[in-house]
Amino acid sequence: MKSKQLPNRILLSEREIPKKWYNIAADLEEKPRPPLDAETRQPISPDKLSAIFPQRLIEQEVSSKKFIKIPEELLKAYAKWRPTPLVRARGLEELLETPAHIYFKNESVSPAGSHKLNTALAQAYYNKLEGVKRLVTETGAGQWGSALAMACNHFELGCKVYMVRSSYDQKPYRRTMMRMWGAEVSASPSEETRAGREILNQHPDSSGSLGIAISEAVEVAASDAETKYSLGSVLNHVLLHQTIIGEEALKQMDKVEEYPDTIIGCVGGGSNFSGFAFPFIREKLEDKTRAKKLRVIAVEPSACPTLTRGVFAYDYGDTAGLTPLLPMYSLGHDYIPPAIHAGGLRYHGMAPLVSLLVSAGIIQPVAYTQNEVFDAALKFARSEGIIPAPESSHAIRATIDEALRAKSEGKKEVIVFNLSGHGHFDMSAYDDYLQGRLADSTIDEEDLQKYLNQLRHQSFPV
Ligand SMILES: *Cc1c(COP(=O)(O)O)cnc(C)c1O
């Protein structure tokens, strides 16, 4: 049994931290469409973006360079917890009695508890370089807010976070975590911004949404010269920073002399999935023999089915329509998904790069209900000992189904998924699940169809 001699945890030394991020846009034949200025319907001018983003990040956003060097100071910050382990999930393999080899990249070991710190530190660093004093952002489940709070603290910047009301109430300890790192936190919709007040006027009990919270944060950044906005997902530069995950994973797979047949990640705005998957997809685009048959699966909640049911169109990134129009799969910018526990996946849109790869057939999307996902989380917690984030558990659900399929077909496949974060702040959700109280929140079909039709019939398709 040679495989038994392989290590469970495949580790890299600090010296092996990748020194470059990978920019997949450089390798795509069909280039992503540019974001459009909502007023003129013309590609957005970089000037307009510079009101809310620093120059270096705007350059990365539109860059066509294949690799971008990671600054020395940032590598030092990454070394606080990177490289992260790649783990062979032997416990899960045994539980499923599958011949498949299952691995997961463990991004839950970051101080903030998820992959989000990879881009939070990068964004704080570039803002600091350009003399910005404070960052403002939104957070859904609280992971992005925590990561940005930690990063701002590291680079001595102020930090203001608009936290989606439903998470603010469900996850008080995420709030505390952000405050421990010195951030200011408000529930969104708030009375502090025009966007927030308008929503509250119409829906005084609004549970909020990422789209609304983005509107509030963008509004604050646009009206204060020393404050810039920071986004935790969706945009090209965010996905770029996350590619350190996949670059490490490639090196780690080399160490065990295996290569994935299937890679899997969960998708909210698409950043952890992309960061993990793009370096592997690069090998596919380069026509490397070993990557020819690679399957790439993106997993989303059935309650917010952006890729499986959405429309590929130009849409706003936020609810109030303050952002440029992005070419992406969307459910409609003012569609408000039901309040599921995987708050980080509760977003109406999707990264334009992910959207493009889905429409090109390179990425395969699937969707699961909340109870299917929590069942997978329980199996993973009991076989691997790690309590996963509900978001990450979407990837676990798909991994389990793939491993069971491999079993029924008698195939020794290699399946690798990204464990984007831990679920230590999601105990009330897991408690509901254990007590059988977890509902499979269903979408209001009529409502959804209304928004999808609006997207289908708008005058500026992708
Ligand atoms: C935010 C978050 C996600 C979803 O965001 P992506 O940009 O799609 O990665 C997934 N998992 C965890 C743990 C998160 O914190």
CA 1 to ligand 1 center in whole angstroms: 37
Reply yes or no on domain 115-234 having CATH 1.10.10.10.
Answer: no
Residue nearest atom 7 in ligand 1 by C-alpha distance? 271
Ligand 1 atom with the shortest distance to the CA of 232: 7
Asked if CATH classification 3.40.50.1100 holds for the domain at 3-19+69-113+237-456, the reply, yes or no, is: yes
CATH 3.40.50.1100 intervals, the chain:
3-19+69-113+237-456, 115-234
Whether 203 and 162 have beta carbons less than 8 Å apart is answered as no
Give me ligand 1 centre to Cα 266, in Å.
7
Please state, in angstroms and rounded to a whole number, the distance separating the CA atoms of residues 171 and 429.
Answer: 10
Select from 350, 387, 391 the residue to mutate for testing ligand 1; criterion: most ligand atoms less than 8 Å from CB: 391
112 phi and psi angles, rounded to 5 deg: -85, -5
Please tell me the predicted confidence (pLDDT) of residue 8: 92
Question: Which residue's C-alpha comes closest to atom 14 of ligand 1?
Answer: 344
CA 75 to centroid of ligand 1, rounded, Å: 22
Which residue has the CA at smallest separation from atom 5 of ligand 1?
A: 268
- Compute the distance from residue 112 Cα to the ligand 1 centre, in Å: 12
Closest C-alpha to 401, from 182, 100, 114, 119: 100
pLDDT for 299 equals 98
CA distances from 60 to 93, 160, 225, 236, 237 (A): 40, 24, 22, 8, 6
Query: Ligand 1 center to residue 391 CA distance, Å?
Result: 6
By the 10 Å C-beta count (0-12 exposed, 13-18 middle, 19+ buried), 61 is classed as: middle
Pocket of ligand 1, beta carbon within 6 A: 114, 116, 143-144, 233, 266-273, 344-345, 389, 391-392, 420-421
The number of the ligand 1 atom at minimal distance from the alpha carbon of 238 is 7
Distance in Å, CA 173 to ligand 1 centroid:
18
Ligand 1 atom 1 nearest Cα: 344
Separation of 337 CA from ligand 1 center, angstroms?
16
How far does the centroid of ligand 1 lie from the alpha carbon of residue 272, in Å? Answer: 6
Pocket test for ligand 1, best of 104, 174, 266 (most atoms within 8 A of CB): 266
* Ligand 1 centroid from CA 3, angstroms: 32
Cβ atoms < 10 Å from Cβ of 222? 16
User: How many Å lie between the centroid of ligand 1 and the Cα of residue 203?
Assistant: 27
Quick one: how far is CA 255 from the chain centroid?
A: 27
Q: Best substitution site from 106, 114, 419 to test ligand 1's pocket, by max atoms within 8 Å of Cβ?
A: 114
278, 24 contact by CB (below 8 A):
yes
- Of ligand 1's atoms, which has the minimum distance to the CA of residue 270? 8
Residue 295 CA to residue 231 CA, distance in Å, equals 29
Per-residue pLDDT of the chain (462 residues), as tens digits, is 555 577 899 999 999 999 999 999 999 999 889 999 999 999 998 888 888 899 999 999 999 999 999 999 999 999 999 999 999 999 999 999 999 999 999 999 999 999 999 999 999 999 999 999 999 999 988 999 999 999 999 999 999 999 999 889 988 999 999 999 999 999 999 999 999 999 999 999 999 988 899 899 999 999 999 999 999 999 999 999 999 999 999 999 999 999 999 999 999 999 999 999 999 999 999 999 999 999 999 999 999 999 999 999 999 998 888 889 999 999 999 888 887 888 789 889 999 999 999 999 999 999 999 999 999 999 999 999 999 999 999 999 999 999 999 999 999 999 999 999 999 999 989 999 999 999 888 888 998 999 999 999 886 767
Distance CA 203, CA 189 (A): 10
Could you tell me which of 281, 439, 309, 294 has the C-alpha nearest to residue 366?
309
For 230, residues 6+ apart whose C-beta sits below 8 A from its C-beta are 120, 123, 124, 127, 135, 136, 137, 148
Distance CA 77, CA 90 (A): 31
Residue located nearest, by CA, to atom 15 of ligand 1:
143
Residue nearest to atom 4 of ligand 1 (CA): 268
- In angstroms, what is the span from residue 379 Cα to ligand 1's centroid? 21
Looking at residue 370, its pLDDT comes to 95
Please tell me the predicted confidence (pLDDT) of residue 53. 92
